[in-house]
Structure 1
């Protein structure tokens, strides 16, 4: 398994706004997100990829064995698949977002307009967790007090 990305393709890297996995746009298109594609349906859906991933992220962590990695536990990535993850993901989901969220088990009606900065609505987070995906904000607002 190789996570190498040639320099000529690095500008097409995107981070999933739910789990922070970083991979090429073409890989999201071809394979979806291995952590949360059962909910987000990125595979073959360019609009969903554009709305549910971001090109703006900071720091990279490459995990080979998330279950035993102290870095994975520290970043709360230990339940995710091996791969490269962003430490912080920044992005805003635009007006077209409800169209692809409708595919996520009919959660939102077409009249809803939702904006957020990586922080997802509570109902959507509940749907993710019901599907076995643990959502952890990657925008620096972890909800935990800094010590």
Structure 2
């Protein structure tokens, strides 16, 4: 999705937690235009690739294999307080 799409529509998978819809600052904090590889999924629950990438519960769509960058620590703490485990998709960073 583009920045405008995230701001207008929010995130299909994480809107409950990140509330990006209508919040451009949150969109900039929680997205990255720097990524490697793509995965296109039509049936995530049936895809071995989505299971291997641990995204089988995501909505159908196009996803990055790895993303450069991390969420800000304040957002990671907020997610943790809500019981959501954050797993960085940045393969250059070991978590």
What TM-score bracket applies, with the shorter chain setting the length?
Answer: 0.7 to 0.9
The one of 44, 50, 55 aligned to 1:66: 44
Structure 1 residues 93, 76: CA separation in 2 closer, same or farther (over 3 Å shift)?
closer
**In 2, Cα distance between equivalents of 1:55 and 1:125:** 25
Matches of 2:87 and 2:42 in 1, distance apart? 20
With normalisation by structure 1, the TM-score equals: 0.55
The Cα of 1:24 is off from its aligned counterpart by 1.3
Alpha-carbon distance in structure 1 between the residues aligned to 2:94 and 2:39: 17
Kept in 1, the 8 Å contact 2:35–2:66? The answer is yes
Contact 2:70 2:88 (8 Å CA) reproduced: no
* Counterpart position of 2:90: 139
Mapped partners of 1:79, 1:126: distance in 2: 21
TM-score under structure 2 normalisation? Answer: 0.82
Structure 2 alignment gaps of length 5 or more: none
Gaps of 5+ in 1: 1-22, 102-119
2:3 maps to 25
**Structure with the largest fraction of helix:** 2
Contact kept? 1:136, 1:142, Cα under 8 Å: no
How many residue pairs get aligned? The number is 94
Please report the RMSD computed on the Cα atoms of aligned residues, expressed in angstroms: 2.4
